[in-house]
Amino acid sequence: MSADTPTPDPSNSGGESYTVQSGAPLVGTLAVPGDKSISHRSLLLAALAEGTSTISGLSHGDDVAGTRLAVVALGAEVEADGPTVIVHGGRSRLHAPDRPIDLGNSGTGMRLLAGVAATLPGATTLTGDDSLRSRPMDRVAEPLGLMGARVSGEGERCLPPIRIDGGALQGIDYTPPMASAQVKSAILLAALGAEGETVVREPVATRAHTEEMLAAAGAAITFERVGGGRVVRVRRSTLEAGSFTVPGDPSQAAFWVVGGVVVPGSLVTVADIQLGIERLGYLGVLRRMGATIEIEESGNGTGSVTSYTCALHGTVVEAAEIPSLDEVPILAVAAAVALGSTRFRGVGELRVKESDRLAGTVELVRAFGAEAEVEGDDLAIEGTGAPLQPGQVDARGDHRMAMAAAIAATACRPGSVTTITGWESVATSYPGFVDDLERLRGAPGAPG
């Protein structure tokens, strides 16, 4: 068995560990899985749309597979035709299911599905794994409750399982207390079945996938930038069936872009990814740190990104630059390699991701020999300005922490060996990550 093959980890409750030996550069071109955010939304919009829709490029990760099963539980019909997924949908087909829907580890799936469930008469119960059951759902329970749904969960933070009693909804005028595309999307999906106009006023604009896809599907929706935020207005709408094409996931591309910069001798191109401005803030951060990154647009909002090894220096990163915060763990790896101090401001929301990513990122950076600490809602990192030291890393069952650790391991001094536990979590979003990493390193692909 090669050093780069995931192996069962008996200390990790039947999970996997992944051992990485450093020394090889990352060289080549690759395509990442279909965008996870757009995949979830494509399935839900196709289920709501009247008629038959097709989806190409859908993510094959466990999170999206959970949403696919969920729309079937609600009454949509889903089938595969080679790489294309066909969905027979329509609001008249949908109903509250007679048993709980298990979303696994997917917070996106749960929050968006809550918006759909709020429009359905009867009770829908949504649950998930241990990690998801520890994530607060009060942020969607509040606006959906204001619209007329009853959303209940455990404790003040409305922890899953959550029950949504849906039906007659009224539009609301709502300003989310945090930047969250998931909360916004839950409200917009519920608004499709509500009386009157619903307005969502984002103080900080988040990714606009939901409103753009709703507009393309014929919804009565408008949205405009106002300062650094966005105002979205939507009314009850019947969606039109159509064809959805899911581009490559820019958040997954971030691992390879950073890898190309921090692993000596590397040159990496990630092809056919989504180039939306709200999804590529991390490229601006890397450029400010000294990275040279090339973008080649190919039309329809997609293109390729190329990065290669550069010396980095510290910077200050504002949360508004990376609204979803998904790229913070891998940017922290870049900060650990960089010379000097990097501060991520206002990233307290990392505490309620798939794991406590704020604490986990501190552990990750320290495991590889750099300094890191949490100061309020800020993350401060003192980079080494040199190759990282090998470490033992617990990914905490979090896919983004696991993949960030793998890239950090490849950036260690040559011949170093790093073991990452909790590796099985990568299947939630990027089942082929190991194969892609080994191919870029010129090693044989890992067995499935």
**Domain extents in the chain:** 7-33+247-440, 36-245
**What pLDDT does residue 324 have?**
85
**What pLDDT does residue 443 have?**
56
Mean pLDDT of 176-195: 96
Which residues have C-beta within 8 Å of that of residue 340, sequence separation ≥ 6? 313, 314, 382, 383, 385
DSSP sequence for 5-50 = S-EEETTTTTEEEEEEE--PPPEEEEEPPBPHHHHHHHHHHHHHSB
Rounded Cα–Cα distance for residues 435 and 298 (Å): 26
| Active-site residue identified among 326, 394, 398, 436 | 326
**What pLDDT does residue 278 have?**
81
Tally the residues of the chain.
448
**What pLDDT does residue 5 have?**
52
Q: What is the CATH class of 36-245? A: alpha beta
Instruction: Report whether pLDDT(372) > 80.
Output: yes
- pLDDT tens digits for range 230-285: 999 999 999 999 999 999 999 999 999 999 999 999 999 999 999 988 889 999 99
Q: Are 344 and 361 in contact (CB under 8 A)?
A: no
**Do the domains 36-245 and 7-33+247-440 match in fold?**
yes
Residues forming a β-bridge with 382: 341, 371
pTM attached to this predicted model: 0.89
**What pLDDT does residue 299 have?**
83
**What pLDDT does residue 277 have?**
81
Ranking 5-14, 18-27, 241-250 by mean pLDDT, the lowest is 5-14
**What pLDDT does residue 7 have?**
55
Mean pLDDT of 221-236: 96
**What pLDDT does residue 318 have?**
96
Our measurement of the distance from residue 373's CA atom to the centroid of its chain's CA atoms, rounded to an integer in Å, reads: 24
**What pLDDT does residue 12 have?**
41
**What pLDDT does residue 276 have?**
84
Q: Verify whether residue 81 is a known catalytic residue.
A: no
pLDDT class for 352, splitting at 50, 70, 90? confident
**What pLDDT does residue 133 have?**
96
Average pLDDT of the chain, as a whole number:
94
List C-alpha distances in Å: 143 to 127, 135, 168, 197, 206: 20, 17, 14, 14, 17
**What pLDDT does residue 152 have?**
98
Instruction: Report whether pLDDT(147) > 60.
Output: yes
Instruction: Report whether pLDDT(10) > 60.
Output: no
**What pLDDT does residue 448 have?**
29
Q: Measuring CA to CA, which residue among 335, 322, 402 is closest to residue 370?
A: 335
Rounded Cα–Cα distance for residues 196 and 119 (Å): 14
246-269 core/surface letters (b: 16 or more CB in 10 A; e: else): bbbbbbbbbbbbbbbbbbeebebb
Question: What's the DSSP call for residue 132?
Answer: G
* Percentage of the residues of the chain whose pLDDT score is greater than 90: 90
Instruction: Report whether pLDDT(141) > 70.
Output: yes
- pLDDT tens digits for range 409-444: 999 999 999 999 999 999 999 999 999 999 999 954
- pLDDT tens digits for range 83-120: 999 999 999 999 999 999 999 999 999 999 999 999 99
**Backbone dihedral angles phi then psi of residue 230, each to the nearest 5 degrees:** -150, 140
Mean pLDDT of 211-231: 96
Instruction: Report whether pLDDT(306) > 60.
Output: yes
Taking the CA atoms of 105, 272, 57 and 200 in sequence, report the sign of the dihedral they define: positive
Question: What's the DSSP call for residue 424?
Answer: G
For domain 7-33+247-440, give the CATH superfamily: Enolpyruvate transferase domain (3.65.10.10)
